[in-house]
Amino acid sequence: MGQAHRGLVFIDCTGVSGYSNKSWDRVAFFMIGEQYGCINIDQPILSFEYNYYEVKYAELQSRIKQYEVNIAAHNAQVGSYNAAVQNFNAEISQYQKAVEAYNLNPTHSEYLRLIAWYASLKSQESSLTAWSNSLNSQAATLNQELYELGLQYNSYGGVLGIVKTVEMYW
């Protein structure tokens, strides 16, 4: 005969994934003065006691640290990508002004320069598109890693915080 469980089990259904359609419902573990923890509802959960969450969290520390390193590296790459897109857009603006000037006073040498510049811009656009696709793929992989960790993180990374009070309304 199995062990009877008593008490409430809390389900956190507030997580949302922008990269998948997986369930983000989680069993919530909390204790006043301790971190608020969640484990994916589809993970094997052997106990609903807070110390079970602490053990699972401790077991995952190395994977969590690697995830945090990966997310920081990804965010840095996104920053670099955004700067490159900003520079690309500025160069397009310069190119458009050069085309306008050319249209007022066309010369063969300026035409050749604009053709080469256009080809360079198309190449940059292709590179930025490939980079964007790579970043999207990385984001999906990171999302999967987080999902597999089974822990709920806030949108900035890290645990959701320390529980100060618990209020229940019926």
Domain extent listing, the chain: 1-60+150-170, 62-149
Terminal-residue alpha carbon distance, the chain: 32
| Residue 22, both tokens | 């997986």
Report pLDDT digits (tens) over 105-164. 999 999 999 999 999 999 999 999 999 999 999 999 998 887 777 655 544 344 567 888
Q: What is the dihedral of CA 57, 60, 61, 65, to 10 degrees?
A: -130
Report pLDDT digits (tens) over 7-29. 677 887 765 555 555 666 778 88
pTM score: 0.64
CA distance 131 to 120: 16
Q: What is the dihedral of CA 82, 75, 12, 26, to 10 degrees?
A: 130
CA distance 39 to 138: 23
